[in-house]
Structure 1
Amino acid sequence: MKTIGIVGGGVVGLSCAVALLDRGYGVSVFERDTDYNAASWGNAGHIAVEQVEPLASPAALRSVPKRLFSAGGALALPPSMAAQWLPFAARLIAASTPAKFTVGTAALTSLLAGAMPAWRDLVGALDAPDLLREDGHIVVWDSAARARTGRQRWAQTAIGTARIVDAEPALLDRLGFLADPVGGAIRFTGSGQITELRQLATTLEASVEARGGQIVRQAARLVEDADRIVIAGHDVDQVLVTAGVRSRALLEPLGYRVPMIAERGYHIRARAEGWPADLPPVVFEDRSMIVTRYADCVQAASFVELGDPDGPPDPRKWDRLEHHVRSLGLPIEGPFTRWMGARPTLPDYLPAIGCSTHHANLAYAFGHQHLGLTLAPVTATLIAAMLAGETPAVPLAPFDLDRFGKKGPHA
């Protein structure tokens, strides 16, 4: 039996483990963290099938000044972390031409088309259908003028398999707790939500072990051995790197170019009693904030902070989230718990999914930016097909890590 060592036990790594175990491989998942504090388990829970346009785009670049944190927006470029984000910004600008944006949109459209079917298959395989809700999500604006502008923008945006409808009056009635009337709202259909992220984590881990796989609670060290990669101290045939933002540190010493940055997001959580249990995720677009109800808490999340994954958090981000909660009149009362986590983002906002052309037994799946939760199961099916020598359902060429350069001096 061929054995595979998966380095990284977030949602992508664990989904890959289940898919590979179901194909008869022996699987060990190397994940040292036991607190479920990574980005996989702290995100908005939103299965964002509508986000087919990569953020590497001419429009996104033009919008930077008004999106800056200092201007009240969600984009933060900390001066203390300029050494990280300046090189990334240069690559992002180069990846944001109209032609590259068109290619990136086509690649993400193909990948996201299979996201919801793959999630249905995965929760079925886990015998945990209640983990998935397919109630879409709501986008609201503060004023009628902002709503008109927002509707026009979304009407001109590619949204893949999702669809946009007017928010029903009954749905708006459930937002009656807001301090001010909603200026306008739309509802997306076709998107979904994971109902409880911690339960997803523990269910995936239990499923790996029930299928005969191992969760190894230690860091993995990768060592080059001729044309192969070895996990030091462990005997596996194949290595699959799914370590999110930590993948860069694993692969660059081996000669790979991985121009990835930590795109840090923040959330606050509080008790759920005052928030309607059946309300799908709500995006307050004027505040760049998404609010999600989980089983026993409500979470408000925001911010795109480019920098060091291990740098100290900025408490002003949490303060602003709490301010938004209060000013909107949301029925969320403290005390709040605070979290910051790092999304793994590559400059073209496409993930890295494929097999190494330099080491015969190395594969990878990381860099899913805001879409790690959304794309985890479909990524797993593509990896499983690729490692079995089959033709994946989605062409993987756009996601090849070699698009950033061949093995050699690091970028």
Structure 2
Amino acid sequence: MTLTDSKGCEQPQKVKERVTVIGAGIVGLTAGIELQRAGFQVEIIDKEGVAAGASRGNAGHFATEQVFPLADPSLLPKLPGMLLDPLGPFRIQPRYFVKAVPWFIRFLFNMLRTKRAHNSQAIKRLNQHSIAAISELATFCGCEDLLLFNGSLLVFEGTDVAEVEKTFQHYREAGVKVRMLNGKEVRELEPSLSDTITHGLYFTHVGHTSDPYQLCHAFAKKFVALGGKLITDELQSIGSDQLQHKAVSLHLVSGEVLKADKLLIASGAWSKPFAKQLGHNVPLECERGYHLMMPQKSSLSRPVASYNRKFIITPMSEGTRLAGTVEFGGLKAPLIDARADCLFPHGKALLPELFSDANASDGERWLGFRPSMPDSLPVLGGCSNHTNVFFSFGHQHLGLTWSAITAKLVAQQMSGKQPDVDLADYRIDRFN
């Protein structure tokens, strides 16, 4: 195809490079939009469609206050009791224990002071840009009404005031915007909360979405409007004969073979086998996260997490979401009803009037898979073995929070630009 310039001379039109994104969750969708905005022709492939996994049922919290890696030495004395409790906030299914051991060895290594400090700084570098990035993207996509920036609460029930103060100072020293409240001040913010709450930490510079599933669909709609293509199919293998050349060959379960100039793996907890095909054995583990979506609509105006109970309540447009717990059991084990239902008594304890006549069976049980790395950092950027392959996965508990900023950074790198945040700490070969 040719175009005519101002002098009447024909000029060849630049053909857009084709990019295929694997994964239509929040990370893949935001990346698809940013790549379209950068001038690529993009298609997104997902075996189940838009937001079918963790992006549908997460807690909806833009959690930029979470600056501390999950590998925390204070967990060590608590782990035996937590792991033995089938309904506790942290559990490994017995049959999965041996398989999870290598990941936990790396996890323990990341508890070292120097590693923990390094990883915390890398988390903060992404967090500090996250709210601005998701706000800009939502405005661009015309769905800013789905974002609310009323902060969030971490509440304490009868916890010794010295421990509350220590936790408060821990966040402040890490640069998190936070206020310490007594029980009365907590209930002035959220009158429906229980009188058992004695203190709270009010994180003032965070937010949430009233519906993460609808947010994803709003992004998908904009992606298509920009010329992007959504394909429901499953990637089976990546053609190794093409990886060193200009095109990537993608073999789908349907039998179709697609070609792309560049490939972005953004398939969350399912990314590990694709990375392995490309020469990287990443220590990616699946955290099974549960929620119980209750139809009752609370009067809460912000997410409320419990320090003692280790779960979170998020007010949403369709009701009240009770979320939390970490379970290691792989991608194939079925949902365990009791692990979703155990969230209900905690929700009722904090919102006694809302749930006074309710039961766990009134809610919708859900299980999703968080893609977690032992250092709590995502895998971002180019593949060291193949110049036309890139990664954006392993966002652990912060997929929603980091989605827009990681999309922007990866799109910058794929465009040949210097990313706004140095991606060295997130490179895929850091585990070699």
TM-score, scaled to structure 1: 0.92
Structure 1 counterpart of 2:208: 193
Please tell me whether residue 78 in structure 1 is matched to residue 121 in structure 2.
Answer: no
Contact 1:73/1:288, CA 8 A, preserved across alignment: no
Would you say the 8 A contact 2:26–2:51 is kept in 1?
no
Deviations 1:94-129, CA, capped at 9 Å, x for gaps: 222111111111111111110011011111111121
| SS of equivalent to 1:56 | coil
Structure 2 runs not aligned, ≥5 long: 1-15, 252-256
TM-fit CA distance, 1:135: 0.7
Distance in 2 (alpha carbons) for counterparts of 1:72 and 1:203? 35
Q: Which amino acid aligns with 1:366?
A: F
Cα-to-partner distance string for 1:140-192 (whole Å, 9 max, x where unaligned) = 111152x5413312312467663111348565146444454321122111111
Unaligned runs of 5+ in 1: 406-411
Q: What is the aligned partner in structure 2 of residue 231 from structure 1?
A: 250
Q: Structure 1: which amino acid aligns with 2:419?
A: P
Counterpart of 1:235 in 2: which secondary structure? strand
Could you report, residue by residue, the CA deviation over 1:204-248 in whole angstroms, capped at 9, with x for unpaired residues? 110110000000011123221254442121121000000000001
Q: Which amino acid aligns with 2:380?
A: I
Match of 1:338 in 2: 365
Q: Which residue of 2 aligns with 1:50?
A: 65
Cα distance 1:190–1:179, how it changes in 2: closer, same or farther (>3 A)?
Answer: closer
Structure 1 residue 31 displacement after superposition: 1.1
Name the amino acid aligned to 1:331: L
Instruction: Give the structure 2 partner of residue 128 of structure 1.
Output: 143
Letter aligned with residue 412 of structure 2: A
Q: Which moved more, 1:325-334 or 1:108-117?
A: 325-334
| 1:79 Cα offset (Å) | 0.7
Partner of 2:32: 17
In 2: Cα distance, 1:73 partner to 1:151 partner:
26
Shift of the 159–295 alpha-carbon distance from structure 1 to 2, 3 Å rule, reads: farther
Give the letter aligned to residue 166 of structure 1.
M
Task: Output the amino acid matched with 2:365.
Answer: R
Question: How far, CA to CA, are the matches of 1:401 and 1:63 in structure 2?
Answer: 31
Match of 2:118, SS? Answer: helix
Give the secondary-structure state (helix, strand or coil) at the position aligned to 1:114: helix
Deviation at 1:380, TM superposition (A): 0.7
Matches within 5 A, 1:166-205: 166-167=180-181, 169=184, 172-173=187-188, 175-178=190-193, 180-205=195-220
Among all aligned residue pairs of Structure 1 and Structure 2, give the percentage whose two residues are the same amino acid: 28
2:79 aligned residue (61, 64, 68) = 64
In structure 1, the partner of 2:11 is: none
Specify the alignment match of 1:304 in structure 2: 326
Q: Which structure would you say has the larger Rg?
A: 2
Matched, 1:165 2:170: no
Query: What is the distance in 1 between the residues matched to 2:66 and 2:348?
Result: 29
- Deviation of the 1:66 alpha carbon: 5.2
What residue is the counterpart of 1:102 in the other structure?
A: 117
Q: Which residue is equivalent to 2:7?
A: none
CA contact (8 A) 2:50 2:217 kept: no
Residues 58 and 284 of structure 1: is their aligned pair in 2 closer, same or farther, counting only changes over 3 Å?
closer
Alignment size in residue pairs: 402
Alignment CA distance shift 1:344-1:144 (3 Å): closer
> Taking structure 1 as reference, are residues 366 and 254 closer, same or farther at Cα in structure 2, changes over 3 Å only?
same
Query: Tell me, what secondary structure is at the counterpart of 2:260?
Result: coil
In the other structure, the counterpart of 1:369 is: 396
Cα gap change, 1:71 to 1:313, in 2 (>3 Å): closer
Structure 1 residues 192 and 175, CA, compared in 2 at 3 Å: closer, same or farther?
Answer: closer
| Counterparts of 1:217 and 1:100, CA distance in 2 | 40
Are 1:293 and 2:293 counterparts? Answer: no
Contact 2:24–2:51 (8 Å) recurs in 1: no
TM-superposed CA distance for 1:288, in Å, is: 0.5
1:34 Cα deviation from its structure 2 partner: 3.6
> 2:50–2:220: 8 Å Cα contact kept in structure 1?
no
Name the counterpart of 2:222: 207
Q: Would you say 1:258 and 2:282 are equivalent positions?
A: yes
CA distance in 2, matches of 1:241, 1:61: 34
For 2:127, the equivalent position in structure 1 comes to 112
Tell me, in whole angstroms, the C-alpha distance in 2 between the residues paired with 1:256 and 1:210: 35
Query: Please, which of 380, 395, 398 is the counterpart of residue 353 of structure 1?
Result: 380
**8 Å contact from structure 1 (residues 20, 27) kept in 2:** yes
Distance 2:50 2:411 in 1: 28
The equivalent of 2:427 in structure 1 is 400
Note if 1:318 corresponds to 2:340. yes
- Return closer, same or farther for 1:265/1:210 CA change in 2, 3 Å cut-off: same
Q: Alpha-carbon deviation of 1:30?
A: 0.3
Contact 1:161 1:190 in 2 (8 A): no
Closer/same/farther in 2, CA of residues 128 and 178 from structure 1, 3 Å limit? closer
TM-superposed CA distance for 1:294, in Å, is: 0.7
Query: Structure 1 residue 11: deviation in Å?
Result: 0.3
The match for 1:248 among 272, 276, 282 is: 272
Query: 1:361 aligns to what SS in structure 2?
Result: strand
Q: Is the 8 A contact 1:17 1:29 kept in 2?
A: yes
Amino acid at match of 1:64: L
In structure 2, C-alpha distance between the alignment counterparts of 1:360 and 1:85, rounded to whole Å: 32
d(CA) in 2 for partners of 1:192 and 1:231? 38
Q: Does the Cα contact within 8 Å between 2:289 and 2:369 map onto a contact in 1?
A: yes
Do 2:180 and 2:199's aligned partners in 1 also have CA atoms closer than 8 Å?
no
Q: Is the 8 A contact 2:87 2:339 kept in 1?
A: no
Conserved? CA contact 1:6–1:242, under 8 Å: yes
**Is this contact kept in 1: 2:89–2:324, CA < 8 A?**
yes
- Cα pair 2:172 2:178 within 8 Å, conserved: no
